Structure 1
Amino acid sequence: MKTQVKALVVGGGAVGTSIAYHLAKAGWDDVMLLERDELTSGSTWHAAGLLPLFNMSFATTHIHQYSVDFYKELEAETGLNAGFAVVGNLRMAQTKERMDEYMVYASTAETCGVPYEFLTPDEIKARWPLINTETLEGALYHATDGYINPADVTMAMAKGARQRGVEIVRRVQADSFEWTGTHWNVTCSKMIEKGGNLIASDEQVVITAEHVVTASGNHAQRTAKMLGIKIPAIPVEHQFIVTDVDPALQQWRKDGNPEHPVIRDADAQSYVREERGGWILGVYEKDAPAVFEYGVPDSFRADLFPLALDRIEEQYMAMIHRMPSCEESGLKDDFNGPICYTPDGNPLVGPAPGLRNMWLAEGFSFGITAAGGTGYYLAQMMVDGEAEIDMASLDPKRYGSWMTTEFAARKNEECYDHVYVLHHPDEERPACRPLRTAPAYDRQKSRGAQFGFVNGWERPNYYGPLDAPDNFDHDGRSFRRGAWWEHAVEEAKAIREGVGLIDATAFTKHVVKGPGATAFLDWFTCNKLPKIGRINLTYALTAAGTTRTEYTIVRNGENDYYLVSAGAWTAYDADFLRKAAEDKAPEFGYIEIQDVTTQWGVFAIAGPKSRDVLNSVIKDADPATALTNKRFPWLSARKIELGMCPVNAIRVAYTGELGWELHHPMEMQNYLFDLLEKAGEPHGMKLVGARAQNWLRQEKSYRAFGNELGRDATPAEADLPRFIDLSKEFQGKAEMEAIGIRSKCVTLLIDGPSDADPWGREALYDGDTKVGRLTSGGYSVHFGKSIGMGYVSPDLAVVGQKLKVKMLNQLWDAEIVEDSPYDPKNTTIRVDG
């Protein structure tokens, strides 16, 4: 057993073995994997082995697609059959709304190159006559999908890893991790079996590793404690049963017919597949409890929980309805085991917060499906510095230090019972809310605010009617234009024509100051730094030259800066900023970084009448000139007083209208809200939510981080040359220039359906050829039609280019327009007063 390696993988399930395999395949010849028990002894051994190809997440779909392709090649390399049955995956729909959901799913599948087809009930019945197609609207079918034997595929990956030089050690447990400044010292114990339990012996060994990856599955909470971080990966009970033989199914196969596809009846919260002449029924029922919230007991090894048939009776009866021939089949076997979840259902893959060379691969609810792709893309991140796809949506730092065990457990239970709930793109889940609220929350709620969840914060999405009838569904979601749509239209019009007030308190805010601050930020970001009292929009790049973070930088002094970035990414931005500053401090000097997100609230006031509202409450020696272009020009910052509230005001507006961001002390937020609301009444000021703002920023072609901006494209590819200063040296510059322009960001106006807008995940076509994808979508109140932003090949990124957008399984006309199609010369935003 080695005691010094380049990379140590902790966890011998499907995910861990895949990571070890792919690190070795990527060229690291000194990799070790530790497993505290036996390979596959965690959730892997009792997984059903399904391989659902598509997901609303672009990154997760790529991961699943890679896994499916990779598993098909394993036997040729290792000689071990991974047990992959390519039988297809049939997602059935009992309602038209479920079919709408599948059309949205298909949009993501299409952009990722995942083949699919839609089937009618008659087509389903013709192919698989044992299925009762009554009450079905149709189905989405993936012919290349299927299921796999979890233990077999894990052993095949383990063999492939060994063939590439990986040492796999069983019955050794990692007990502590110590970072020395250059490497990790991992203290491990040899495990022994005693009375059926697996316990640590007195025999210990210290392994030195340059990099460590944790893929500890159900033991993630133990891992979190050892590392001193928070990992919101907690298991939930998952049940599936195996029936005895079904004579009708046996006859079907004897007649030479193929195996049924994996049958997913989402509206019945269950899946069914063939198993040795009978059926497996797996369910995602309500009230399945989280387990092991504070760690897995020593007595629990490859064990199961008692079956809770009362929880799944409804799903069992639904299976009999859908597959009537199974009614006489008895119960042959049952499984109720722990499956790890996260609050949003996506795994946690990437660098651990605050730690060097520590990588997490935790929280896999679909671990077999994701294992292959996770190993591939995580190895790219570790070996090459970045993956070829944007992995930010899976980053472990998307949950900040505010997250608790109780939050994770309750949200994970919710995520489990939402697996087959209709997943609207405008979905908002209720568990653990409200949690993080700005002071004005109650005031906004009383004005009809309908809130969204952003990094734990409650943020107004839109404002519904206060005089709504009792049956008005404020939470009405849709794959088309939901109940909120008409209210967002009126809010967007208010900003274009009058004045609106937006709560942007969730913005991430950092103070960066000290003797090294200026030199550091000049290297850290790609744009020129602003002069004192001015602001700049800029980007921090990855080491691979792609976009890591977007910042608005306000320069308060020679070495004193205020950075504003996306509200969903506070811990993500803070970690990257601090690690970069620590690395460069010896070169640039002392740099102090403070996360002040919770100290400052933010209201954005925008619209042609916004200056009039502020003029009525500003306290200044000459109020009439305080907000003029001469004293307060566009893209500048000033400290002003609004009534009794001191405000750091920034002359910028994400909506593209005349406006200001009003950064104020959080404890004075209610005072300022009341002051502005009263001042706005004579001008018809309207409270505005995030959805209208999202539409308005697309009319101005303002890129959004997590949409147009991410780790799979450079700022140059985002077509932002005015924010890139090539005369200076900055992190990722050479790599960005070496990439060139692979694709280019454009804005499109779309003649879409009368009842729907794009969501920002649709495929773009030139004739019959797929040429790109949307990254944002919505409705334009100015142009009266759908709008979107996305990426196409550079040769097509021409104003006037006609394309097609795939929406609701149809192609709709679209045209590339000039950047900032609304007010391209920025006349309204610079208007004087």
Structure 2
Amino acid sequence: MTQVPKHARALIIGGGVVGASLAYHLTKLGWTDVVLLERKRLTSGTTWHAAGLIAQLRATANMTKLAKYSQELYGQLEEETGLATGFRRVGSITVALTDERHEELRRQAAMARAFGVEITEITPDEIIAKYPHLNPDGVVGGVYLPKDGQGDPGNIALALAKGARNRGAVVLEGVKATRAAKSGGRVTSVDYVTEAGDAGTITCDHVVNCAGMWGRDLGAMLGAPVPLHACEHFYIVSEPIPGLQSLPVLRVPDECAYYKEDAGKIMLGAFEPKSKPWAMKGIPEDFEFDQLPEDFDHFEPILEAAVNRMPMLEQAGIHTFFNGPESFTPDNAYYLGQAPQMQNVWVAAGFNSIGIQSAGGAGMALAQWMEDGQKPFDLGDVDIARAQPFQSNRRYLQERVSETLGLLYADHFPYRQKATARGVRRSPFHALLAEKGAVFGELAGWERANWFAAPGQARDYEYTWGRSNWFDNRAAEHKAIRENVGLYDMSSFGKLRVEGRDACAFLNHVCGAQVDVEPGRIVYTQFLNSRGGIEADVTVTRLSETAYLVVTPAATRVADQAWLQRHVGDHGVVITDVTAGEGVLAIMGPKARDLLMAVSPNDFSNEANPFGTAQDIELGLGMARVHRVSYVGELGWEIYASADMAAHVFETLAEAGEGMGLKYCGLHAMDSCRIEKAFRHFGHDITCEDHVLEAGLGFAVKTDKPAFIGRDAVLAKREAGLDRRMVQFLLHDPEPLLYHNEPILRDGQIVGHLTSGGYGHHLGAAVGLGYVPCKGESPAQLLASRYEIDVAGTRVQATASLKPLYDPTSERVRA
């Protein structure tokens, strides 16, 4: 019988490259009693047939940090373990066949410079010099990353597993987890069965879901949903090609193809636009080192384009036609971190065909997170807490992953919307907004009105890196908010009711601001971690002596509720998600008060309803609650109406607004207004690794109240001084567009990157926010420099400001 320990400090389930990496890194931190269970053989699910492409550059700075770490780790594993990983720095080339793709690559190159990744923009002639087998027809340019590499996926995983064993981990094959016992929000033990039929139980302090394409089913067993699904992934390997020399990895995303030279053969892989979900009725029990049936008809269009692009393939025979499953998630980002539903369940799964390049860094980051009890740095892009419970629905997953595989090589246009599995979550105003011309986008399953089409205008996104087909629509909506009155739907924002005898004390412990205020007061605040980093950015409204409403961004409601729940301790409170119970309309602009006075007899004056207060009101024939706050920098109110009265509230406002020029606005206009006002966006401008003082939010922290999470870190930073500051930038040239991650140059040197960017229609040019190092400098010294923003390789001069460039004293919101 396989000897399975009776107890594990960390029980890792899944023996692919990710599970092996986590075991390796936990033992490197000194953890003992690390046990890894693999149902069959190590690497037998997806790892063994992975392509082994190892790139450095990812979409954000921290994802790039993890990918670079993976490269460095794989380069030294052979020396440590004696197992060859096949890692070689062969470089990589990505080519563009369209002007839009070329713009994307130029923007990626600029981003790479900000992230410290070596990259060169290259011409078609330079591409041919590095890859002479390529047919250059239609190639307009490309980028070259000399330090990208490739490796042997199976051996990388086995080397990581050996390194873990060498430091005491127990790695067991042929042991399947079958059941989890749970108590008090924790998994206390896991039952297992061996291939020989022996059964047993192992108790655990922590359990980690590294089960790859089995991750959804294991997540259900552990009480922690992991929405992912397997798709078929195709590649071919040629017969040996005489004289073929070592070549860089080549990507031709406009033809959905990548090429890798290995041992004198060429591998051609594809990320086709519409993929094939696999195992809709479940993965076969005996699946191990298996491949799926060939589907030449599905792969043929890719192969035809590849033979034209790489003429030598026409003469080379096909040695292998491979089809194997890989797991994909609804948003094409993997899952990492502590499951929000459980106290001791962790996840590292759903790697969307980038498992090899990600595994080293992901294992390191998760191990450090488990060691410290908090994220080592911002991992919001991949945090499992972003997953919505409904996304585990099988039909939803099958429809969505048919798209997400192809999106890996699709143009990564700004504002790109998913096309599949839509319409799941709708606000009470959805149909009414559609009648007004709303064009919807999707976030966390919510259908949200992003912009409004004019009569006769197509209600579709036309994607581009330039001015979009809705640019002028947003400009008109922006203008209405700034000069008259606009209405937009905020129902998707999370609403958490915190109530009980200790509600005040509990929220004062979690929040940086003072929430012991009179009922009806609204407090803007952050949840801080012990380092003073920002875990959530919320408003807290005191409804009564014992009840509060916490309003969170739509995408972080699950994470924010989990943060609150994990810090309840002995406080007598109940936390309830009431998001779906109320529809919320924002009425914003200089005439917002006039509109409310036309539909309600209540008093909306500064004396009766000053900024930062809420009141219950009569509205039309019904009732509502209004919060006087603003995320756009104008006079305005958020109107909360119970779901049953929401349609009546909308119709009443619409009727009254006809004579005032009321404009229906989308969330794109809300974002362009907020960036003019330099309001921070959680997940972009402020994250768990951004200190609240350096983010410019010190006004929202009250250190004179009793101890709260992060208080010591705030006091320490005030004593030591700031290392960097959040700065707002306005381009001098009105033509270029900013999105985010563009490099910030100070006196000609790159010093950071934009955390968010957009167009300031009132200010007349693109606006961005970003952190600039300032250790030992006064604000005057910081602003005395010359600033530029690198937009796709062109340096554009910018004005820098520590105060909002629009209404710096906030007179308008308090009008």
Secondary structure of residue in 1 paired with 2:306: helix
Tell me what 1:600 maps to. Answer: 582
Name the aligned partner's letter for residue 782 of structure 1. Answer: H
Shift, 1:807, TM fit: 1.0
Tell me what 2:264 maps to. Answer: 277
Aligned partners of 1:221 and 1:293 also within 8 Å: no
Question: In the alignment, does 2:425 pair up with 1:436?
Answer: yes
Tell me what 1:733 maps to. Answer: 711
Name the aligned partner's letter for residue 65 of structure 1. Answer: K
Tell me what 1:222 maps to. Answer: 217
Question: In the alignment, does 2:326 pair up with 1:339?
Answer: yes
Runs of 5+ consecutive residues of structure 2 not aligned to the other structure: none
Farther-moved stretch of structure 1 (261-270 vs 812-821): 812-821
Question: Where do residues 698-713 of structure 1 align in structure 2 (5 Å cutoff)?
Answer: 698-713=675-690
Name the aligned partner's letter for residue 596 of structure 1. Answer: V
Question: In the alignment, does 2:480 pair up with 1:524?
Answer: no
Shift, 1:799, TM fit: 3.9
Question: In the alignment, does 2:758 pair up with 1:778?
Answer: yes
Secondary structure of residue in 1 paired with 2:788: strand
Name the aligned partner's letter for residue 545 of structure 1. Answer: G
Name the aligned partner's letter for residue 758 of structure 1. Answer: L
Shift, 1:23, TM fit: 1.1
Shift, 1:246, TM fit: 2.5
Tell me what 1:616 maps to. Answer: 598
Secondary structure of residue in 1 paired with 2:165: helix
Question: In the alignment, does 2:498 pair up with 1:495?
Answer: no
Shift, 1:190, TM fit: 4.0
Name the aligned partner's letter for residue 303 of structure 2. Answer: Y
Aligned partners of 2:730 and 2:767 also within 8 Å: yes
Question: In the alignment, does 2:698 pair up with 1:721?
Answer: yes
Shift, 1:769, TM fit: 2.4
1:294 and 1:573 mapped to 2: Cα distance? 34
1:807 and 1:711 mapped to 2: Cα distance? 27
1:112 and 1:310 mapped to 2: Cα distance? 41
Question: Where do residues 680-829 of structure 1 align in structure 2 (5 Å cutoff)?
Answer: 680-728=657-705, 729-738=707-716, 741-752=722-733, 754=735, 756-795=736-775, 798-829=782-813
Aligned partners of 2:187 and 2:222 also within 8 Å: no
Aligned partners of 1:233 and 1:342 also within 8 Å: yes
Name the aligned partner's letter for residue 717 of structure 1. Answer: E
Aligned partners of 1:187 and 1:204 also within 8 Å: no
Secondary structure of residue in 1 paired with 2:389: coil
Shift, 1:181, TM fit: 5.0
1:161 and 1:476 mapped to 2: Cα distance? 50
1:299 and 1:785 mapped to 2: Cα distance? 60
Aligned partners of 1:551 and 1:564 also within 8 Å: yes
* Residues 548-569 of structure 1, C-alpha deviations (whole Å, 9 max, x = no match): 1111011111121111110111
2:192 and 2:764 mapped to 1: Cα distance? 66
Pick one of 390, 395, 419 that aligns with 1:406.
395
Pick one of 302, 323, 328 that aligns with 1:315.
302
Shift, 1:507, TM fit: 0.7
Shift, 1:331, TM fit: 1.0
Shift, 1:398, TM fit: 1.4
Tell me what 2:27 maps to. Answer: 24
Aligned partners of 2:10 and 2:208 also within 8 Å: yes
Aligned partners of 1:74 and 1:156 also within 8 Å: yes
* Residues 743-788 of structure 1, C-alpha deviations (whole Å, 9 max, x = no match): 221211122461x321121121123422111111111122211111
Name the aligned partner's letter for residue 800 of structure 2. Answer: I
Farther-moved stretch of structure 1 (797-806 vs 68-77): 797-806
* Residues 153-174 of structure 1, C-alpha deviations (whole Å, 9 max, x = no match): 1111112112222221111111
* Residues 707-739 of structure 1, C-alpha deviations (whole Å, 9 max, x = no match): 111111121121111101111210122245456
Question: In the alignment, does 2:109 pair up with 1:106?
Answer: yes
Aligned partners of 1:242 and 1:275 also within 8 Å: no
Aligned partners of 1:385 and 1:543 also within 8 Å: no
Tell me what 2:523 maps to. Answer: 536
Aligned partners of 1:290 and 1:413 also within 8 Å: yes
Aligned partners of 1:385 and 1:544 also within 8 Å: no
Name the aligned partner's letter for residue 134 of structure 2. Answer: I
1:33 and 1:738 mapped to 2: Cα distance? 41
Secondary structure of residue in 2 paired with 1:225: helix
Question: In the alignment, does 2:226 pair up with 1:231?
Answer: yes
Secondary structure of residue in 1 paired with 2:53: coil
Total equivalences in the alignment: 801
Name the aligned partner's letter for residue 603 of structure 1. Answer: L
1:223 and 1:709 mapped to 2: Cα distance? 33
Aligned partners of 2:236 and 2:322 also within 8 Å: yes
* Residues 660-688 of structure 1, C-alpha deviations (whole Å, 9 max, x = no match): 01011122222211211121122111111
Secondary structure of residue in 1 paired with 2:599: coil
1:341 and 1:673 mapped to 2: Cα distance? 39
Pick one of 72, 78, 81 that aligns with 2:81.
78
Aligned partners of 1:619 and 1:643 also within 8 Å: no
Shift, 1:464, TM fit: 1.7
Tell me what 1:246 maps to. Answer: 241
Q: Percent identity?
A: 34
Pick one of 5, 22, 28 that aligns with 2:8.
5
* Residues 508-534 of structure 1, C-alpha deviations (whole Å, 9 max, x = no match): 001111101111001010101132211
Question: Where do residues 603-682 of structure 1 align in structure 2 (5 Å cutoff)?
Answer: 603-620=585-602, 626-682=603-659
2:72 and 2:281 mapped to 1: Cα distance? 37
Name the aligned partner's letter for residue 462 of structure 1. Answer: W
Aligned partners of 1:15 and 1:367 also within 8 Å: yes
Farther-moved stretch of structure 1 (237-246 vs 51-60): 51-60
1:821 and 1:766 mapped to 2: Cα distance? 19
1:681 and 1:324 mapped to 2: Cα distance? 64
Runs of 5+ consecutive residues of structure 1 not aligned to the other structure: 193-200, 254-258, 621-625
Aligned partners of 1:241 and 1:280 also within 8 Å: yes
1:814 and 1:607 mapped to 2: Cα distance? 28
* Residues 772-821 of structure 1, C-alpha deviations (whole Å, 9 max, x = no match): 11111111122211111111112476345431211112221122213222
Aligned partners of 2:614 and 2:627 also within 8 Å: yes
Farther-moved stretch of structure 1 (670-679 vs 38-47): 670-679
Pick one of 154, 162, 165 that aligns with 1:162.
165
Farther-moved stretch of structure 1 (570-579 vs 427-436): 570-579
Tell me what 1:195 maps to. Answer: none
Aligned partners of 1:651 and 1:660 also within 8 Å: yes
Farther-moved stretch of structure 1 (739-748 vs 655-664): 739-748
Tell me what 1:419 maps to. Answer: 408
Aligned partners of 1:801 and 1:815 also within 8 Å: no
Tell me what 1:120 maps to. Answer: 123
Secondary structure of residue in 1 paired with 2:410: coil
- Structure 2 vs 1, CA of residues 569 and 811 (structure 1 numbering), >3 Å: closer, same or farther? same
Farther-moved stretch of structure 1 (311-320 vs 280-289): 280-289
Shift, 1:107, TM fit: 3.9
Farther-moved stretch of structure 1 (760-769 vs 484-493): 760-769
Shift, 1:401, TM fit: 2.3
Name the aligned partner's letter for residue 226 of structure 1. Answer: M
Tell me what 2:343 maps to. Answer: 356
Pick one of 373, 376, 399 that aligns with 1:385.
373
Name the aligned partner's letter for residue 772 of structure 1. Answer: G
Q: Could you tell me the TM-score, scaled by structure 1's length?
A: 0.93
Shift, 1:461, TM fit: 1.1
Question: In the alignment, does 2:220 pair up with 1:205?
Answer: no
Secondary structure of residue in 1 paired with 2:543: strand
2:686 and 2:115 mapped to 1: Cα distance? 18
2:68 and 2:472 mapped to 1: Cα distance? 38
